[in-house]
Copies of this chain bind each other. A is one copy, B any other.
Amino acid sequence: MASPIRFDTDPSRYRHLRLEIDGEIARIVIEADEQGGIAPGYELKLNSYDLGVDIELHDAIQRLRFCHPQVRAVVLTSGLDKVFCAGANIRMLAQAGHAQKVNFCKFTNETRNAIEEAGTDSGQAYLAAVNGNAAGGGYELALACDEIIMIDDGSAAVSLPEVPLLAVLPGTGGLTRLVDKRKVRKDLADVVATRSEGVRAKTAVDWGLVDAIAPPSKFGQAVLDRARAAAARSRRAPGGPGIELTPLDREVRDEGLRYPNVTAAFDRAAGLVTITVHAPPAGAPASLAAAREQGAGFWPLAVTRELDDLILWLRTNETELGTWLIKTSGDAATVLGYERLLAGAAGRDWLADEIRHFAKRTLRRLDVTSRSLFALIEPGSCFAGPLAELALACDRQFMLNGLPDGELAPGAGQAPGPATLTLSAANFGAFPMSNGLSRLASRFPGDPGHVAKLEQLTGRPVEAEEALGLGLVTFAPDDLDWEDEIRIACEERASLSPDALTGMEANLRFAGPETPQTKIFGRLTAWQNWVFTRPNASGPEGALRRYGTGQAGVFDRNRA
């Protein structure tokens, strides 16, 4: 594989964005460096984006929340004249392999969801100031914002030209957000999504494609007025100054990755990675003020950053590691102590809120990760509260029943007791899945009474047999069977078709209600993945491959 993609950056390294802060209002100004593509072979003209641009956007959204807590409204706009954003770079897409396209779309979708959640969760509403053409992913980026203000200059248009020009879908939530978020009439959405030239300002506001329009002379002021109004409505919790998100301490080796609180060990022959999340080495600080002094090293923030980075790294750079074994290590009571500190300040302290929202987003990233996820709950592990949520995000939970038989290695200290799983208030709504349900509610969709019963167990460590009886784990082999059972389950998983597993997991993980987010990852993404594989888009004569060559795509006209 080529050099790995890194998802961590900081504003000093941005090539495509400017982040401007002015009191309560921030501006993210996109001005893509045409020569700054993350891969060779294309130029980022007209503010088109690739993964490199999106990594900066992702970073900027994250930093606004943690480093600039005073910000209450964010204006997303373009530094170019007459152009807001031309969407995903088409040559980049055309030259990308299938897995790359799919992974790129997943990350961009997650980033757009992060924009929406900044408004709903964190009181940082986004306003798209569409100062010129917003095409395809450019308009979809605006659709992810809370409000869209569009310049009415007689030429700017919003458009979704993917279907007519490229024979693919607006795959970054556009179709879903038109009808499900903005409630655009579906026949009008049909017109928008098939009209390559798009829709100018007056019709756009009539059809509900944007919220407001303004002539060039009044555009800047209109944007500012709306940003101020959004800031005034913000319910962002108070708290101290921002936290500096210092560079991640990540050691990369061929056999795995190592962060201070998270390790990943690869077994390439078996297609496995073992991820271990380590409990804090010391108890929680006495107060949030003391936590703040720990900065980015404060364990709940540090471990979430590391896990989030690891998920992105593995998804992008280690596509043959199809099964992730998820373990924890350390003291459960310490984990719960940190969680109590944060939960106690919920709604009253922006930092406590941000850390938990970040954990929620990271867990959701896991939910949509196209890898098989097995939790291994062993003696010495600390699946408690937020870390129990990690186990519940997995496709299966294996819990060792009783104690290992072997002798303790010399110098290993006291042997841990039997494996336990500890639920806390965190497991009953603090980290909802993107379908709006807690992972426990989604695990027992037909049985709210059982979830209520589980709530009675809050704080009590539950051993394997009881956990099995309560349905908290899938299997609870004893020490005699443990290694064989895990090995067989991993070998079996590795023998199955990666595509079939991806489809199966995507269908099983989201029982219950659907939301725009689940529709984007379930319905829209699945159709887009299908369309991407079809010769009409990606074959040698397909429209995506031929775009820009002057030759139109040649289509098999049979409908499937």
Interfacial residues, chain A to chain B (CB-CB below 8 A): 98-99, 102-103, 162-164, 166-169, 175-176, 178-180, 182-183, 185-191, 193-194, 271, 319-320, 322, 370-371, 394-397, 442-447, 471, 474, 492-514, 519, 522-524, 526-531, 533-534, 536-537, 543, 553, 555-560
CA of A190 to CA of B492, assembled, Å? 12
Partner of A500, one of B103, B167, B492: B167
Residue pair B163, A557 in contact (C-beta under 8 Å): no
CA of A530 to CA of B102, assembled, Å? 12
Q: Which residue of B lies closest to A322 (CB)?
A: B559
Q: List 27 A-B contacts (CB under 8 A).
A: A164-B492, A169-B504, A169-B507, A175-B504, A179-B507, A180-B445, A186-B508, A190-B505, A319-B559, A320-B557, A370-B560, A497-B536, A497-B537, A497-B555, A498-B536, A498-B555, A498-B557, A498-B559, A499-B560, A500-B531, A500-B537, A502-B560, A513-B513, A523-B526, A527-B529, A529-B530, A530-B530
A188 CB contacts on chain B under 8 angstroms: 474
A498 CB contacts on chain B under 8 angstroms: 536, 555-560
Residue pair B445, A183 in contact (C-beta under 8 Å): yes
Residue pair A99, B558 in contact (C-beta under 8 Å): yes
A447 CB contacts on chain B under 8 angstroms: 183
Residue pair A507, B175 in contact (C-beta under 8 Å): yes
Residue pair B506, A527 in contact (C-beta under 8 Å): yes
Residue pair A179, B555 in contact (C-beta under 8 Å): no
How far in angstroms is the closest Cβ of chain B from A541? 11
CA of A385 to CA of B514, assembled, Å? 31
Also in contact, A514 and B514, with CB within 8 A (given A499-B531, A499-B537, A530-B530): yes
Also in contact, A492 and B194, with CB within 8 A (given A445-B183, A497-B537, A559-B371): yes
How far in angstroms is the closest Cβ of chain B from A467? 12
How far in angstroms is the closest Cβ of chain B from A38? 19
Partner of A557, one of B180, B271, B500, B528: B271
* Copies of this protein in the complex: 2
How far in angstroms is the closest Cβ of chain B from A442? 7
Q: Which residue of B lies closest to A162 (CB)?
A: B500
Residue pair A99, B560 in contact (C-beta under 8 Å): yes
CA of A559 to CA of B506, assembled, Å? 13
Residue pair A499, B185 in contact (C-beta under 8 Å): no
Among A99, A474, A511, A519, max chain B CB count under 10 A is at: A511
Partner of A502, one of B176, B319, B442, B559: B559
Partner of A536, one of B167, B500, B553: B500
A558 CB contacts on chain B under 8 angstroms: 99, 319-320, 498
How far in angstroms is the closest Cβ of chain B from A439? 10
A531 CB contacts on chain B under 8 angstroms: 497, 499-500, 503
Residue pair A508, B189 in contact (C-beta under 8 Å): yes
A493 CB contacts on chain B under 8 angstroms: 194
Can you name 16 extra interface pairs (CB under 8 A) apart from A168-B500, A183-B444, A320-B559?
A166-B500, A169-B500, A182-B446, A185-B444, A186-B511, A190-B396, A190-B504, A191-B474, A194-B496, A322-B557, A497-B555, A498-B559, A499-B531, A503-B531, A513-B514, A530-B530
Residue pair B497, A543 in contact (C-beta under 8 Å): yes
Residue pair B499, A534 in contact (C-beta under 8 Å): yes
CA of A271 to CA of B556, assembled, Å? 12
A533 CB contacts on chain B under 8 angstroms: 530, 533-534
How far in angstroms is the closest Cβ of chain B from A163? 5
How far in angstroms is the closest Cβ of chain B from A2? 14
CA of A523 to CA of B194, assembled, Å? 23
Residue pair B191, A396 in contact (C-beta under 8 Å): yes
Q: Which residue of B lies closest to A507 (CB)?
A: B175
A319 CB contacts on chain B under 8 angstroms: 558-560
Also in contact, A504 and B163, with CB within 8 A (given A499-B536, A499-B537): yes
CA of A492 to CA of B499, assembled, Å? 34
A529 CB contacts on chain B under 8 angstroms: 526-527, 530, 560
| Complex A-B, nearest 3 residue pairs according to Cβ-Cβ distance, in ascending order | A183-B446, A526-B526, A167-B497
Residue pair A179, B497 in contact (C-beta under 8 Å): no
Residue pair B559, A370 in contact (C-beta under 8 Å): yes
How far in angstroms is the closest Cβ of chain B from A232? 25
Q: Which residue of B lies closest to A552 (CB)?
A: B495
Residue pair A186, B102 in contact (C-beta under 8 Å): no
CA of A93 to CA of B512, assembled, Å? 30
CA of A166 to CA of B194, assembled, Å? 37
A370 CB contacts on chain B under 8 angstroms: 559-560
Residue pair B530, A507 in contact (C-beta under 8 Å): no
A442 CB contacts on chain B under 8 angstroms: 186
A98 CB contacts on chain B under 8 angstroms: 560
A497 CB contacts on chain B under 8 angstroms: 163, 167, 531, 534, 536-537, 543, 553, 555
Among A99, A102, A185, A537, max chain B CB count under 10 A is at: A185
How far in angstroms is the closest Cβ of chain B from A148? 16
CA of A182 to CA of B252, assembled, Å? 45
CA of A339 to CA of B530, assembled, Å? 41
A494 CB contacts on chain B under 8 angstroms: 557
Among A505, A531, A556, max chain B CB count under 10 A is at: A531
